[in-house]
Structure 1
């Protein structure tokens, strides 16, 4: 591209130089020749006037009388009727410029001047024009190189930005070059980079959320399968555990479906009226084995038979996250308490552990913030799920730790 731009600009300059210099050279050359001719004509007129004056005065005409009017590089011949030709100066070899003037008495004056000085002057003029043309061409080359670099560098940078964007590096550059067309391309690439960055962030967030949300159902399902394996000789127990395992599969399917639905349409309405006791019972069955294995227990307190508005799977997932959080980071008995608060139903999860460090506070709901070397995703995902479902998740107390899920109360419960 640089070469094309340089060749194009250089070609334009060469055409301009030729179009300008050739006519100028011809005009200047003709001007120099005309000036020389005028100079020789003027000398011939002056000498003719001298000759006529002497003839009118009856004085003799000799070469010495008008030798002072003759230049060193000129040769003058005076022809007077009835007299031999009179000459002054040195005869000229080579090309000459000649002027002839005739007087009233028939006398003729011929002045010849060598073309050497004229040719030398023409040569100097052509040399000067050539130097000017050469300087113009050099300046044009320098300008073309500078302009080519000025335009090629932004294009190179834009190509690198596009390549980087295609390779998964969506950082916008924010560079502008003072050229409207290039600035427009840079702006479009920056906007595309921001969109790609948002898409990649959403994809990574989806992957992290899916990983965290699927972990709990898969863990529960794994424990149920282990129970089935350990109690294979008791058909009734196997049937009960298999039923619970199927419920875990259904929950897992619901989680996957909800993740995909939220990814396609975050505003998709899924709220229904359901009995909160069913969700609480599910949590008791799900977390019974791991709590027994760790020597801990889950206690249910508060209201019964409360109906709420929301998505059962979302509420279950949030409560499971809170219970799992207490199991991993807390200690002692875990209490799941249900109560009313205005137009909401509050499900509180509390344990007897050391609680949340004071320096964290509500920052525990931020992603990548954790006080126990965990991923820091669980509570952030739980809060997002609660808010997307029309509720909210709050930390009511640091010590003892009390997390509260606020869900809209159904009118059927009034």
Structure 2
């Protein structure tokens, strides 16, 4: 492209120089020749006037008397009736220019000059035109190279940016070139780079979240399968198999939710559900693991509460909190349900050392962990809670108390108020 720009610019300049240069040369050559002829005629007329003046005054006309009036490179012949021609100067070899004038007394003056005088002047003019043309070509070449570099360099840079995008480096370069069209292309590439970066970040986040969220139900499922293998009682096998099937359904729900959130995190499936069912389900799932660790998991609080959210997501949040308590805590783990205004609260606490003071609320940030873990669990749990319109908070660091806040179902609040009014009436 750079070569094409240079060649096209030079072609245009050469055409312009050829057209205008030839025209200028033709006009100037004719002008030089015409001026030379006019000067020669003027000299002839002046010399004729001198001759007539001498004839009128009766002076003698000789070559010595007229030589001072004739330039050195001229050859003059003066013809008079009944006398020999008078010659001044040396005859000219080669091409000549001639001018002839006749006087009133029958005399004739002929003046000749070498044509080489005109030719030399034309050659000097031609040399000047060629020098100017060469300077113009050189200037055009420099300008063409500069313009080609100005256009080609941004294109090469844009090609490099596109290649970087194609190779998986989505960092926008934010380079502009002062050319509106190229700047527009750069804007589009930067916007594409930002979109690709967001997509890659979302894909990596989905992969990390999926690996973490799938680990918990898979761990619980493996524990159930181990229980089935370890027992020979048919009733126990059926019970454990039923719980395992429930966990498989929960695992399917987790996968579906991950896929849904990856397409559009705004899509939700919040419904009213019985909070006790979710809490009891988590206790039943994790009891074997706690039993094998010599620890207990208990449930207390206000029964019969109904919340608004996604049961699968709430199960995931509680599973994360219970698993953290199993891995990092000590003693009995307690799940307590209560109400707080128009919200229901599920608190998870244990008797361990809790969250380090230097971490505090940062424990919910990704990659932040005080126990050499991935640091994803609580971050994912908080995202799941917020997706349902709730929130996950650390109420107390030592001993640790994590609380999941969810909206109460409006109907349950109404039923509770009606129950309170009926109890007052009975009283």
Q: TM-score, normalised by structure 1?
A: 0.98
User: Hey, what does 1:398 align to over in structure 2?
Assistant: 397
**Per-residue deviation, 1:272:** 1.4
User: Hey, what does 1:186 align to over in structure 2?
Assistant: 186
**Per-residue deviation, 1:39:** 1.7
**Per-residue deviation, 1:131:** 1.2
**Per-residue deviation, 1:91:** 0.6
**Per-residue deviation, 1:60:** 2.1
Quote the Cα distance in structure 1 between the aligned partners of 2:146 and 2:19: 25
Quote the Cα distance in structure 2 between the aligned partners of 1:128 and 1:119: 14
Which consecutive residues of structure 1, in runs of 5 or more, have no partner in the other structure?
none
Quote the Cα distance in structure 1 between the aligned partners of 2:135 and 2:268: 76
Q: Does 1:336 align with 2:344?
A: no
**Per-residue deviation, 1:70:** 1.1
User: Hey, what does 2:56 align to over in structure 1?
Assistant: 56
**Per-residue deviation, 1:57:** 1.5
User: Hey, what does 2:132 align to over in structure 1?
Assistant: 132
Quote the Cα distance in structure 2 between the aligned partners of 1:68 and 1:184: 79
Matches within 5 A, 1:132-151: 132-151=132-151
Matches within 5 A, 1:21-100: 21-100=21-100
Which consecutive residues of structure 2, in runs of 5 or more, have no partner in the other structure?
417-427
Quote the Cα distance in structure 2 between the aligned partners of 1:55 and 1:70: 18
Quote the Cα distance in structure 2 between the aligned partners of 1:57 and 1:284: 149
Quote the Cα distance in structure 2 between the aligned partners of 1:401 and 1:81: 143
User: Hey, what does 1:312 align to over in structure 2?
Assistant: 311
**Per-residue deviation, 1:86:** 0.7
User: Hey, what does 1:292 align to over in structure 2?
Assistant: 291
User: Hey, what does 1:387 align to over in structure 2?
Assistant: 386
**Per-residue deviation, 1:269:** 3.4
User: Hey, what does 2:172 align to over in structure 1?
Assistant: 172
CA RMSD of aligned residues (A): 1.1
Partner secondary structure for residue 251 of structure 2: helix
Quote the Cα distance in structure 2 between the aligned partners of 1:358 and 1:99: 117
**Per-residue deviation, 1:398:** 1.0
Query: Are the aligned partners of 2:76 and 2:109 in contact in 1 as well (CA < 8 Å)?
Result: yes
Query: Are the aligned partners of 2:390 and 2:404 in contact in 1 as well (CA < 8 Å)?
Result: yes
Quote the Cα distance in structure 2 between the aligned partners of 1:135 and 1:296: 95
User: Hey, what does 2:13 align to over in structure 1?
Assistant: 13
Aligned length: 413
User: Hey, what does 1:276 align to over in structure 2?
Assistant: 275
Partner secondary structure for residue 59 of structure 1: coil
Quote the Cα distance in structure 1 between the aligned partners of 2:309 and 2:2: 64
Quote the Cα distance in structure 1 between the aligned partners of 2:72 and 2:184: 73
Query: Are the aligned partners of 2:268 and 2:387 in contact in 1 as well (CA < 8 Å)?
Result: no
Quote the Cα distance in structure 1 between the aligned partners of 2:134 and 2:226: 92
Partner secondary structure for residue 270 of structure 1: coil
Quote the Cα distance in structure 2 between the aligned partners of 1:360 and 1:354: 13
Quote the Cα distance in structure 2 between the aligned partners of 1:186 and 1:253: 44
Q: Does 1:198 align with 2:204?
A: no
Partner secondary structure for residue 344 of structure 2: strand
Quote the Cα distance in structure 2 between the aligned partners of 1:276 and 1:142: 80
User: Hey, what does 1:373 align to over in structure 2?
Assistant: 372
Farther-moved stretch of structure 1 (115-124 vs 353-362) = 115-124
User: Hey, what does 2:253 align to over in structure 1?
Assistant: 254
